[in-house]
Amino acid sequence: MRAFLAIPLPESVIDALEDLQVDLPFGRLVRPENLHLTLAFLGEEPPEVIEAVHEALLSFRATDFDLELAGLGTFGGREPASLHIAATRSPALRDLHARLRNRLHGAGLMLPRERFAPHVTLARFRRNSPAADHQRLGAFIAARGETRLAPFPVTHFSLFRSILGADAPVYDELARYMLG
């Protein structure tokens, strides 16, 4: 089972992100129901491992906090693979991520060591996109890159199953873990 932990977004934030996506000049837009902030990608694991993660998270405690999304960016270097809006630096979010990593480790799941760059992916791009598309993306970021959304309270995070398809992936919320 392919699974990940993520913070789902409130309707008001999804609406604002959709408004932003409308003006995107190219790329595959992430569907509104799929917009989320990934805390940990668990990978493809047997159901028993995901069950163990779930058990370990049932007693996980963390305080609730406000999250702000601000600033557009890309991943993939000179050949952008995706466009995202970043989460503003937040000690509470960092702490949540670090403690989750430890808890997952305790449940037998070692996540790869990589820098946590919290973000919400808005669109993905084909490899070998024409140079004109890169220019249009650059212009979009120049025009809208400073976008800042109103902070929203994070009350929970969720365990999602990800089913990859020919088209968009389908994310099923398997469990919800309350904060605060």
Active-site entry in 36, 54, 97, 105? 36
We find the least distance from the C-beta atom of residue 124 to ligand 3AM, in angstroms, to be 8
Name which of 41 and 116 has its Cβ closer to ligand 3AM: 41
Name which of 4 and 116 has its Cβ closer to ligand 3AM: 4
We find the least distance from the C-beta atom of residue 13 to ligand 3AM, in angstroms, to be 14
Name which of 131 and 166 has its Cβ closer to ligand 3AM: 166
To 10 degrees, what angle do helices 91-106 and 47-58 make?
130
Cβ contacts of 116 within 8 Å, gap of 6 or more: 94, 97
Tokens describing residue 174: 């398997």
Q: Phi and psi of 140, rounded to 5°?
A: -65, -45
The yes-or-no answer on residue 156 being catalytic is no
We find the least distance from the C-beta atom of residue 41 to ligand 3AM, in angstroms, to be 4
Q: How far apart are CA 147 and CA 58, in angstroms?
A: 36
Tokens describing residue 72: 């557009």
Interacting residues with ligand 3AM (CB under 6 A): 4, 38, 41, 121, 162
Active-site entry in 84, 97, 105, 119? 119
Q: Could you tell me which of 139, 129, 178 has the C-alpha nearest to residue 156?
A: 178
Name which of 41 and 60 has its Cβ closer to ligand 3AM: 41
| CA dist list (Å): 135 to 13, 81, 140, 170 | 27, 14, 9, 31
The yes-or-no answer on residue 134 being catalytic is no
We find the least distance from the C-beta atom of residue 14 to ligand 3AM, in angstroms, to be 14
Q: How far apart are CA 177 and CA 158, in angstroms?
A: 6
- Residues annotated catalytic, as ranges: 36, 119
